[in-house]
Structure 1
Amino acid sequence: MDNPLILYGCIVILTGFALLYFALVIWSPAPIITHESEKKYRSFKSTKKPLSLTPLEDSGTVDLTVVIPAYNETERLPLMLEQTIDHLSSLKKKRTYEILIVDDGSSDGTSEFSLKLAAKYPKSDIRVVTLEKNLGKGGAVRHGMLYGGGERLLMVDADGASRFNDLELLWDAMDKIAPNKGAGVVVGSRAHLVKTEAVVKRSLLRNILMYGLHTILRIVGVGHIRDTQCGFKLFSRSAAQQIFPAQHLPTWIFDVELLLLAKQLRIPVAEVPIEWHEVPGSKLNVVTASLQMLRDLLIVRANLLLGRWQVVPRKQKSE
């Protein structure tokens, strides 16, 4: 009688695993497709004729690419862009740069508005890319990184919540962990603000979800980073070339996938405190987004553990 019970138990267990694997396949995001029109950009000098972007696998063309994901950001983008250009223009040690605004399928004319803004800064290389459909913040950042020409590439939110001047803190940290164009990631962090008004004044629900997320992050393997979600991160070109082609998540939790990939690739990651403030106009529904984040965290971790999503280290070219 024992043998049939054991056999029955094995069948149940195997069926359960098969169902879980089937659910993983169904829930995993489809590959992100890049359309030909998205490989080109417009600028105030070329509003009608799109020009070719720089593929990430090519050599860098400027010192810095600033990638700004933008979904319906006509209200918040002007101040953020002004602060960005003011800082980059004020540096004593000049840096060549490009600003890549990735319009994530907006419905408010973000692309045309961005081109008008670009005309105010004729000395700055402001490039506007229009995605054919809305991918999500992670998809927009990924696209900007895959077509940025910078030796270093900065992702920054369009709301201006992070103080752009703090780029220099990230830059100095990158010099330390990734000299000579090595692979490195520097994460802007708000962890030091947890006990300050900037976070205390946030809603109780947001703070509960924040602490819950931190607990889950420790479980999935990125507990060593205190703030994974700050939208102010700097990548060396070498690191970006290895991380972003392997990124699958287009949703809000994509930051965690990037850090998991960096950990798996043994790319050094530094965390640097920055200034930050809450900006009205967030498009994030905290409850819905939190449930989606939990699902996506489990999906990315399971796919990496099972080898469905492969990560291939990039061989460094000899100088």
Structure 2
Amino acid sequence: MPPSPRGDERASRTPLLEIVVPARNEERRLPGGLLQLCAKLAQMPFPTAVIVVDNNSTDTTADIIRNWPQGEVPVRLVQCATPGKGAAVRAGLLVTKAPLVGFCDADMATDLDAITVAVGLLLGGERVVIGSRAHAFSEVENRHSRVRELGAVGFRALARRLVRGVSDTQCGFKFFDGRLAREVAARLRTPGFAFDVELLARCAAAGAPAMEIPIQWRDMPGSRFSPARHSAGIVLELGRILLRLHAESRGVIRPAWEHAPDPVGSP
């Protein structure tokens, strides 16, 4: 079905909100997730857009976006050659232009009604709004193994050294003042799973601590995180984040973004 005249007019306007979706080999989950996301965004009373970042997929993820029917909510593809979710989110945030931006996972594990809450808070003056599975009023359907749960406890203990006052740094549902997000994304140097910690720590250092909101969250099958394969790497990433931020605060090293190239995106 071709887009309606209203959809054409809305899609041609500059979006107030852009949402980044990082994707690596998501040909199975991405179509359903995008349908949900676009349906939610089409209900918003202002123009919106979606940016899907293909992170070196070897399946048809990129083709799905290239062939996605354009309607009220434009969906564009950006390529990120650097492996890692952090690198993909960074690449997506850097090509945004909207006053408000955010990112969410391709599985849409967080109920998308939380977008309305997050946007309302941003329009009311908050600069960083994140979903928290640890919030007292969150509803969480969790099927994680005991090993993964114990690993999460250890991760949170380390993350609190970098991001004080945040109970859940890793929920893949975060929204920002657009200018702040682009400035902080340019400074990110953590490509892997721990990138959220660096992102939130840099926001807090810029005077924009995160506000956590309750969410409805379902543990979706197909997670790429494995405690056995990734735990050691995450601990190393957290250590590097701590050392770099400490060195930057003391002026021992120049901020990495002063001499590092930005990722190249494709329309």
TM-score range with shorter-chain normalisation? 0.7 to 0.9
Deviations 1:152-172 (A, max 9, x none): 111010011111121011112
Which residues in structure 2 correspond to 1:1-319 (within 5 Å)? 61-91=14-44, 94-116=45-67, 118-119=68-69, 121-131=70-80, 133-178=81-126, 184-192=127-135, 198-199=141-142, 201-218=143-160, 220-307=161-248, 308=253, 310=255
Deviations 1:137-181 (A, max 9, x none): 000000000001211111010011111121011112223333xxx
| Aligned partner of residue 164 in structure 1, secondary structure | coil
Separation of aligned partners in 1, 2:149 and 2:136: 12
Separation of aligned partners in 1, 2:97 and 2:27: 25
Separation of aligned partners in 1, 2:214 and 2:137: 12
Output the aligned Cα RMSD.
2.4
1:150 is aligned with what amino acid?
A: A
Which 4+ stretches in 1 moved above 6 angstroms?
193-197
CA change 1:231–1:197 in 2 (3 A) is closer
Deviations 1:241-283 (A, max 9, x none): 3211111111110000001101211123211111110111112
The answer on whether the counterparts of 1:61 and 1:151 sit within 8 Å (CA) in structure 2 is: no
Separation of aligned partners in 1, 2:217 and 2:165: 21
How far apart are 1:197 and its partner, in Å? Answer: 6.3
| Aligned partner of residue 62 in structure 1, secondary structure | coil
Deviations 1:181-216 (A, max 9, x none): xxx1111111137997623x4210111011111111
CA change 1:311–1:72 in 2 (3 A) is closer
* Percent of paired sites with the same residue: 29
The answer on whether the counterparts of 2:137 and 2:214 sit within 8 Å (CA) in structure 1 is: no
1:84 is aligned with what amino acid?
A: L
How far apart are 1:63 and its partner, in Å? Answer: 0.3
The answer on whether the counterparts of 2:133 and 2:139 sit within 8 Å (CA) in structure 1 is: no
| Aligned partner of residue 124 in structure 2, secondary structure | helix
Matched positions, count? 243
Separation of aligned partners in 2, 1:149 and 1:170: 18
Segments of 5+ residues of structure 1 without an aligned counterpart are 1-59, 179-183, 313-319
Separation of aligned partners in 1, 2:201 and 2:66: 35
Greater shift, 282-291 or 149-158, is seen at: 282-291
Segments of 5+ residues of structure 2 without an aligned counterpart are 1-12, 258-267
Deviations 1:33-65 (A, max 9, x none): xxxxxxxxxxxxxxxxxxxxxxxxxxx942011
